[in-house]
Amino acid sequence: MIATRTPDVPPQAGGASASASRLVAFATFMLPIGALLLLWEGTVRLGLADATILPAPSMIVARAWELLNPVGSQHSLLLMHIGVSLWRALAAFVLACLVAIPLGFALGLSKGAYRALSPLLSLLLPLPAVAWTPIFLVAFGQGDITIIGVCFLGAFFPVLYSTIQGVRGIGVHAIWVVRSMGAGPMDLFRRVLLPGALPALISGLKLGMAHSWRTLVAAEMLAALSYGLGYMIFAARSYMDVSTMFVGIVCLAVIGLLIEHAIFGTLERMTVARWHSSGKVRGAR
């Protein structure tokens, strides 16, 4: 599944040149990104952009370093905020899985229940989980309960939906066959349902974690009382500490990137593999 990243370099046999071409591929990939960073740094240094509105990458890195280091007897502030955010997103995700997966199996197996509930589900699926934040705010005020609650809702529906689809995708014949051979429910689950639903389930899990993090970004900015990247960003915003704000944003972005990158395979899946899949239109030829 590893497609070559660049169209220019002809595929070569042999070990040394293969790793050399991969190196070139990596360099070509990083080039526009590096250029962008340099451009950004340049505009701020040359005074074209105001550092109090758009700090240069070097300033952001410097500030991140400051926040990373423990001050006095305290622990690293940045790691603290990151840790709290991650724990909230993970807790919400785990909770969502604990509820959504069993429910998904139940709904997937019962045709009646599915028919009954599917309109409700399809109505709730496009509803952004953040929209539930005000209700949580009224009921629980700001803080962890609200944030984890909202992220739970964010992760719940994708996981539920994927599980249902996965279970429904299993041919009913497979179930009949195994049942006719005298398999009990446990066996049925272990040998037919779980393996059959697994691909959809796993993709649902990935989607759920990604949704949990994305929802966290918004929920924390609205409801965090102390700690968390969203809190850090908005606290910095109140006091016009733009560098700290950008450090927070970059962390949110990078962690989001890592979650989706690690989860969805490589970045290639998002762009390259699809774009280089066939010998059709490719460049002005």
Partner 1 sequence: MSTTDLASAKPLSVAGATPLLRNIFARFGVIVVLLALWELAARLGWINTFLFPAPSNIAATIWTQSGPDGNPPYAMPMHVLRSMIRLLAGIALALIIGTVLGVLIGMTRWARMLFQPLISIFMPVPTLAWTPVLLLLTGIDDRTTIIVVFIAAVFEVIYTIVAGIEMMNVKLFWVARSMGASRLQIFFRVIIPAIFPYLITGLRLGTGYAWRALIAAEMLAASSFGLGFMIYDASEYMSTNVIYAGIVLIAVLGYLLENVLIGRLEAATTEKWGVQSER
Partner 2 sequence: MSLRGFGWLKLSAFAAMVAVGATLAHAADPMSIRVGLQSVPPDEVYTSKDWGARYKLKVEHGSFSSGADILKAFIAGRVDVGNGGSGRLVTMAAQQPELFYIVAANQYGGDRYGVMVAKDSPIKTVQELKGKKIGAVTGSGTYSTFRVYLNRNGMKESDFQIVNMKVEDLRAAVQQGIIDGAVAWEPHVSIAETMGVVKRIQSMAGVNESPNFVLVNRKFADANPDAVARYIATLMDLGELITNNPKEAAKLAAGQISKKGVSVDPKALELSFTRIKMDPKVTDALLSELVPVAEAMKAAGKISAVPDFKKLVRMSFYEKALELKKASK
- What does the binding site for partner 1 look like in residue numbers (CB under 8 A)? 6-8, 28-33, 36, 53-54, 115-120, 122-124, 126-128, 130-135, 137-139, 213-214, 217-218, 221-222, 233-234, 237, 242, 245-246, 249, 252-253, 256-257, 259-261, 267, 270-272, 274-275, 277-278, 280-284
Residue 73 sits in the site that holds partner 2 (CB under 8 A): no
**Residue 249 binds which entry of partner 2, partner 1, none, with Cβ cut-offs from 5 to 8 Å by kind?**
partner 1
Instruction: State how far Cα 85 lies from the chain centre.
Output: 13
Other C-beta atoms closer than 10 Å to the C-beta of 13 total 6
Half-sphere exposure of 255 (CA within 13 A, CB side): 25
**Do residues 80 and 227 touch, judged by C-beta distance below 8 A?**
yes
The interface partner of residue 2, options being partner 1, partner 2, none and the CB cut-off 5 to 8 Å by kind, is none
Q: Please choose which of partner 1, partner 2, none residue 225 contacts, taking the beta carbon within 5 to 8 angstroms, the exact cut-off set by kind.
A: partner 2
Is residue 67 within the footprint of partner 2 (CB under 8 A)?
A: yes
Of 38 and 225, the one with the shorter C-beta distance to partner 2 is 225
Options 75-83, 116-124, 178-186, 270-278: segment touching partner 2 (CB under 8 A): 75-83
Q: Which is nearest to 193 in space by CA: 170, 213, 216, 211?
A: 170
Specify the 3-state DSSP secondary structure of 252. Answer: helix
Give the number of other Cβ atoms within 10 Å of residue 17's Cβ: 13
Q: Which of 167, 205, 207, 232 binds partner 2 (CB under 8 A)?
A: 232
Q: 148 or 272, CB closer to partner 2?
A: 148
Answer for which of 112, 123, 181, 239 binds partner 2 (CB under 8 A) is: 239
Q: How far is the CB of 77 from partner 2 (least distance, A)?
A: 4
* Residue 171 within binding range of partner 2, rule CB under 8 A: no
- Residue 78, interface with partner 2 (CB under 8 A)? yes
With CB under 8 A as the contact rule, which of the stretches 32-40, 89-97, 196-204, 239-247 interacts with partner 2?
A: 239-247
Structure tokens belonging to residue 79: 């790691």
Out of 1, 52, 181, 182, point to the residue binding partner 2 (CB under 8 A): 52
Q: Which long-range contacts (CB under 8 A, 24 or more apart) does 59-65 make?
A: 59/243, 60/243, 60/246, 60/247, 60/250, 62/243, 63/243, 63/244, 63/246, 63/247, 64/247, 64/250, 64/251
As a whole number of angstroms, the distance between CA 66 and CA 52 comes to 18
What whole-number distance in Å separates Cα of residue 228 and Cα of residue 150? 15
Contact of residue 256 among partner 2, partner 1, none (CB under 5-8 Å per partner type) = partner 1
Among 19, 28, 69, 226, binds partner 2 (CB under 8 A): 226
Q: By CB under 8 A, tell whether 81 contacts partner 2.
A: yes
Alpha-helical runs (H) found in the chain: 15-45, 57-68, 77-109, 111-124, 133-140, 144-169, 172-180, 185-188, 194-223, 229-238, 242-263, 267-270, 272-275
Contact residues for partner 2, defined by CB under 8 A: 50, 52-53, 67, 71, 74, 77-78, 81, 141-142, 225-226, 231-232, 235-241, 243-244
